[in-house]
Amino acid sequence: MQVIKTLAFKFRPAKDLLLLDQTLLPKKKAFIPIENPKHITRAIKALKVRGANLIGVTAGFSLAQYAFKNPKAKNLKSLAKQLSLARPTAVHLSQAVQKVMKQKSPSAKLNQAIALYEEDKKACESMAKKARPLIKTGDGILTYCNTGCLATAGIGTALGAIKQAFQDKKQIHVFVCETRPLNQGSRLTFWELNQEKIPCSLICDNMTAHLMSQKKIQKVFVGADRISKNGDTANKIGTYNLAVISHHFKIPFYVVAPSNTIDSQSQTGQKIPIEQRAGKEISSYWAKHKTNIINPSFDVTPRHLITKIITEKGYYIDRI
């Protein structure tokens, strides 16, 4: 079967899985081998591979690969359970693990993993097309964290929509928030945009209100890790801040995410689990001392602050 290659990983069915170590970007581009589900679990927790869609896809490949190479392994179920809990907020991870593990044979598991990849790739293309009318020539577009090729199996979710607008020859300018504390915006999104020569500016997270007051930003596009049944949306910590500021300035706030991001089991955003990460990500100095550091990785934006949620199937939430 043909090798599957994206910007973020390389997969040869039943042979090997290589992940681009995103913690090294943009200084170094290096791939790391994943030999079993324990490796992918560690890589996901360490953010060597990240992005709600991508961790689901690569987790599926890792499980299928392990099952194919070790058809008599008795620990696959326990490994799968540990893997599904690696990052609790992103619903794609547990979904992918469940779908692959439901398949009985190693070949069926492999086919399911490949199907997850194809599904995500097509969804990205469809979302970009659905979002096309929302972006106009002359727009200054603010985006947050990373939602492009480094976070999905395709062109991206929110960043995919922005790339589509640029490919449509629309004259746009992208403002990229650095995305503290791990700077996925400055390290990853800004790098992706520069790779494709899309006009962009890097800004600190606390500069958005200032730029909006100067009318430099006309749209906000973000992704999502989980969407509750009522439309409340969990995304990278700081997204809620942007939604509140956008609402104040009456700037459209768009969420772009595949339909499988919608969690029918979570009635509201209050039911979405929020991942808490190590305090040392914020301050290595204070982490060495006995002091309190709070480091939630995600926050929840209430649906009333969201203008539209765009999925590959159309608009899930449309606030007039």
3-state secondary structure the chain: CCCEECCCEEEECCCEEEEECCCCCCCCCCEEEECCHHHHHHHHHCCCCCCHHHHHHHHHHHHHHHHHHCCCCCCHHHHHHHHHCCCCCCHHHHHHHHHHHHCCCHHHHHHHHHHHHHHHHHHHHHHHHHHHHHCCCCCEEEECCCCCCCCCCCCCCHHHHHHHHHHCCCCCEEEEECCCCCCHHHHHHHHHHHHCCCCEEEECHHHHHHHHHCCCCCEEEECCCEEECCCCEEEECCHHHHHHHHHHCCCCEEEECCHHHEECCCCCHHHCCCCECCHHHCCHHHHCCCCCCCCECEEEECHHHCCEEEECCEEEEECC
Report the C-alpha gap between 40 and 89 in whole angstroms.
Answer: 17
Report the C-alpha gap between 143 and 297 in whole angstroms.
Answer: 17
Q: Is 225 a catalytic residue?
A: yes
List 120, 139, 225, 232, catalytic entry: 225
Catalytic residues: 225
